[in-house]
Structure 1
Amino acid sequence: MDEPLRFRIDEIRFSERDVVLRLPFRFGAATVTSCPQVYVQVRIRFADGSTSLGCAAEMMIPKWFDKNPALSNEDNFQQLRDSLTAARTAYCADANNKTAWQHFAQHYKPLLKNGVTAGLNPLAASYGPALLDRAILDALLLKLGSSFAAGMSANVAGLSLQGSGLADDLRGFDMARFMSLQMPRKQISARHTVGLADAIHPADKQPGEPTDGLPTSLVAAIARYGHRDFKIKLSGNTEADLARLMAISHVIEDVARVITLDGNEQYASADAFADFFEQFTSEPQLAPLVAKTVFVEQPLHRDQALTQDVSKLARQIPLLVDESDATLDAFVQARELGYTGVSSKSCKGIYKSVINAARCAMWNQASPGASYFLSGEDLTMQPGLGVQQDLALVGWLGLAHVERNGHHYVNGLMAAPNDEQQNLLLAHDTLYEYSFDAVRLRIRGGQIALGSLDSPGFGTGQAGGHISWDAMRSSY
């Protein structure tokens, strides 16, 4: 492999656009009806003086990064802005030319440490670098004229753990070879989220339900998109959850291929979740759903998840960490307690996903019969940069399915100017469609086509990613 290109960070700008949800999204104790989406633009400069522009975008979902009930949604938004600006200050202050990976690795620990001082937990403190790293990689790939999949397989980012002080458990693992052997997917299954406030049947109408022609119930979503994979949210109230699961089971038991359950930190202890799981698996009416449930995501609160041994429960059902996967070494800690799965979530950082995928490969190879796994999860990703970059990542990692919910809770690109919508549709005519007065994610037979992402950049195709930057609500 050629020596990875080195560069410095010239400039970073942030812009925001308000996104209003067409349906309330209830997960755990939170219900989201609107929030900003942040867009990042980065200019990098190479040793020869040439520059390249890259971009990224992510929703600023409240009550996920920090679930402190004393904080308002606006407080949560400001935490993420603080994370972004802190990362910008750190990345731009370094005038030395480095690889994309080195820019991340150098600032990873200091930004976490500074986050503690600023009152940011590791998830929130990692949000800023996660966005910057994606935009930086986009700029690098555009400079090289390489797609994300080709560039990652060639390790153009220069990902090397040697001497980094990060992920020391992977010492001796051939990361470059692992990356070169990835088999990118041409399509991926959209695992549909069933939120706690979602209607199951069309007759279960909610107050203020939209009349935009799009599905508002689980039954209607299956009819429109052809979903076969599902993620079902749990509330932590066993009686209510079992009743809801029975209603859902009647709808999906004949079509479902894969089902995952998401505890969203709603259980105080492993024993509390074990009690729910025992009732869940012993209910005869739920047998078809139980048979297709492949893992349970983050049942325990993050304050408890990495302190309680769940090995006994994990022998009955694989357990995955999501919110507790807050640092690069969290999955290593979780493994010691019995967890075998970890989420790939773009808001936590692309390098974390790659490192955790490498761990799964190494652990499974070392222990025949082991089944450590990475699962693609969502943060209400929106069409445009957010969806494109996350799909490029999970497609390159070879995942068979990824949670997708942004297409259900938000009315496509309705918040974007028409020119931006049409340009994205022209650039990704198999990824998107125009229907019901907006460009939106195209899902057919439960599948999302990834072919248009095989283009220069990190899911963008060109500098600026077809985004109407001058139409944003605010820039800073």
Structure 2
Amino acid sequence: MIRIAACRLRLQDLHLRLPFRYGIATVTDLTHAFVETDVEINGKVITGISAEHLSPKWLYKRPDTSPEADNAELIALIEAVLEWATDLSAETAFGLWQALYEKQATYAKETSLPTLWTHFPVTLVERAVINALGNATQQPFHALLKSNAFGIELASIHPELFGTQPADWLPEAPRKQMILRHTIGMADPLTGLERMDALPKTLEDNIAAYGLKHFKLKLGGNVTTDIARTTEVLAVCAAHAPPDWAFTLDANESYTDFATVRAFWNGLQDTHKARCLFIEQPLHRDQALTDTAGAGLAGWGDHPPILIDESDGALGDFPRALALGYTGTSHKGCKGVFKGVANACLAKKRGALLSGEDLTCVGPVCLEQDLAVMAALGIESVERNGHHYFAGLSMFDTAAQNAALAAHPELYHRSPAGWPTLTITNGAIQFMA
């Protein structure tokens, strides 16, 4: 029996070392949320923790509200979910998550709010409970997943997985190394050796410093502008990256239809197209899973792999996307761990893609928990950009910095300025889950 005895929310304002422009947002500051849960497991109370950015204009892309108003509304929603979760009990961690998820699904339906928005607080509780179970058993995430100590019922999410367990689909052991896919925001500088806070700033300098070979390019929804910007970015990659470099494209819902996406794609050089791993979420979530979108994909017979991201808000969205002709979906901690596990199993069964993405995910809690899941799911190329937009772990106190270094010396090292930052070698990071 598992019971949530108490929940606590702590907020910390963070400042980015350079602005990050994606979709309809340009971010210079944001709020980082920590959730602690006291979880009673077989009569013993164990504390778990989770953390995540409250990223502006991603969970809910309302152009007519301010980021400050969105932030206040999301914090109030988190507080409401934490209050409801307190004293909730179930036989398993998965059962706790299901109860929270179903309540929020009802709330989303009644209020017509986006499912990404309403379920985000559930993922914070879910991850804190997972952490508590790991603390209680002294087992890493991949071991708990392999033995299904969480009690995950795959068929309750995807019925076609009936009779199977996560271990039937997922790797025998977690990955120890992942390729770091470096994000290039729409406002990021590209050339000129220039450093900030002892860290590289431009794309050219980042490639030189880290040996980057996988890249993620942000698009804005204007064909002409996107072709010009993408061509410029890819020219820098071609000139400075290793021979096996590759990239992905992320439109963050900025395109209106697949005919327009196709016009953009046709404007790229064929030599560059061959290096594209996939395009992520080109259409707005209100349009992406419609029959019209499916017809657009069907009419574009030779399209590159196309994934959903923001459209993957509810449990049935991934199989719906596959039925329409999409190639796969993304995993992000803010969309839920158990949901991500089930999607990974379905992707394996269907031969679909599951990518690893983030939104400037940083340590000392969020990054490590997210990497543990990515490693267990076997995802090789993972978007990691918190090290670029934030000055390492400099925003946290010395105790937290030292604890992160001690726990993961393979992942962090001290920068010349003294604070921990990611260790990136030949475009990859090491992580011992």
> Normalised by the size of structure 1, how large is the TM-score?
0.86
The equivalent of 1:82 in structure 2 is: 76
Whether 1:153 aligns to 2:181 is no
Are 1:226 and 1:445, in contact at CA under 8 Å, matched by a contact in 2?
Answer: yes
Q: Residue by residue, what CA displacement relative to the aligned partner does 1:91-139 show, whole Å, maximum 9, x if unpaired? A: 2242x44200000112212212223445632001111111111110110
Residue number among 380, 384, 393 corresponding to 1:413 in the alignment = 393
In 2, Cα distance between equivalents of 1:347 and 1:114: 18
Maintained 8 Å contact 2:123/2:335 = yes
Alignment partner of 1:294 is 2:277? yes
RMSD: 1.8
* Alignment of 1:139 onto 2:126: no
Query: Contact conserved, 2:2 with 2:92, CA < 8 A, in 1?
Result: yes
Residue type at the aligned position of 2:308 = V
Structure 1: state its 5+ residue gaps.
Answer: 1-5, 281-285, 365-371, 454-476
Query: Which residue is 1:24 aligned to?
Result: 19
2:67 is matched with which residue? 73
After superposition, what is the alpha-carbon deviation per residue over 1:150-169, rounded to whole angstroms, capped at 9, x for unaligned?
1111111010145x4x3334
Matches of residues 70-149 of structure 1 in structure 2 within 5 Å?
Answer: 70-94=64-88, 96-117=89-110, 120-149=113-142
Q: Deviations over 1:149-194 (max 9, x none)?
A: 11111111010145x4x3334334x124426644311111100001
Aligned equivalents of 1:119, 1:242: Cα separation in 2:
35
Unaligned runs of 5+ residues in structure 2 are none
- Could you tell me how far 1:418 is from its partner in structure 2? 1.6
- Give % identity: 36
Write out per-residue CA displacement over residues 238-291 of structure 1, whole angstroms, 9 at most, x where no aligned residue. 2222222222222212525221111111111111111111222xxxxx333211
Contact 1:83 1:126 in 2 (8 A): no
Q: Deviation of residue 445 (structure 1)? A: 1.2
Partner residue of 1:400 out of 360, 366, 380: 380
Task: Report the more deviating stretch, 434-443 or 311-320.
Answer: 311-320
The alignment partner of 1:43 has SS state of strand
What are the equivalent positions in structure 2 for 1:5-16 lying under 5 Å apart?
6-16=1-11
Match of 1:260 in 2: 248
Paired with 1:314 and 1:423, the residues of 2 have a C-alpha distance of 51
What amino acid is aligned across from residue 318 of structure 2 in structure 1?
F
For residue 84 of structure 1, report the CA deviation from its aligned partner. Answer: 1.8
Q: 1:221 aligns with which of 193, 201, 206?
A: 206
User: In the aligned structure 1, how far is the partner of 2:73 from the partner of 2:311?
Assistant: 18
2:402 alignment counterpart: 422
Q: CA–CA distance in 2 between the matches of 1:362 and 1:439? A: 40
Deviations 1:37-67 (A, max 9, x none): 00011111133x2111111110110100111
Give the letter aligned to residue 8 of structure 2. Answer: R
Matched, 1:231 2:206: no
Aligned to 2:332: 345
In structure 1, what is the Cα distance between the partners aligned to 2:90 and 2:277?
45
Alignment partner of 2:234: what SS?
helix
Contact 1:154 1:180 in 2 (8 A): no
Taking a change above 3 Å as real, the CA distance of residues 176 and 295 of structure 1, as seen in their structure-2 partners, is closer
Q: Hey, what's the Cα distance between the residues in 1 that align with 2:336 and 2:186?
A: 27
1:430 and 1:356, CA in 2 relative to 1: closer, same or farther beyond 3 A? Answer: same
Superposition pairs of residues 178-327 of structure 1, within 5 angstroms: 178=168, 181-202=171-192, 211-253=196-238, 255=242, 256-280=244-268, 286-307=269-290, 308-309=293-294, 310-313=297-300, 315-327=302-314
Aligned length, in residue pairs: 425
Are 2:425 and 1:440 equivalent residues in the alignment?
Answer: no
| Matched-pair contact (CA < 8 Å) for 1:182–1:398 | no
- Structure-2 change in CA distance of 1:431 and 1:232 (3 Å): same
Deviation sequence 1:3-25 (CA, Å, 0-9, x none): xxx31110110101111001100
* Pairing 1:380–2:360 present: yes
In 2 relative to 1, CA 353–97 (structure 1 residues): closer, same or farther, beyond 3 Å?
closer
> Is the 8 Å Cα contact of residues 40 and 55 (structure 1) preserved in structure 2?
yes
Contact 2:39 2:45 in 1 (8 A): yes
Where 1:14 maps in the other structure, the secondary structure is: strand
1:62 equivalenced with 2:52 (yes/no): no
Separation (CA, whole Å) in 2 of partners of 1:183 and 1:242: 41
Specify the code of the residue in structure 1 equivalent to 2:248.
T
CA contact (8 A) 1:314 1:339 kept: no
Question: What TM-score, normalized by structure 2, do the two folds share?
Answer: 0.94
Residues 260, 294 of structure 1: 8 Å contact kept: yes
Partner amino acid, structure 1, of 2:337: I
The reply on whether 1:355 has 2:342 as its aligned counterpart is: yes
Tell me which amino acid in the other structure corresponds to 2:278.
F
The 8 Å contact of residues 83 and 127 in structure 1, kept in 2 or not, is answered as no
| Residue identity matched to 2:212 | H
Q: Which has the higher contact order (CA 8 A, sep 6+)?
A: 1
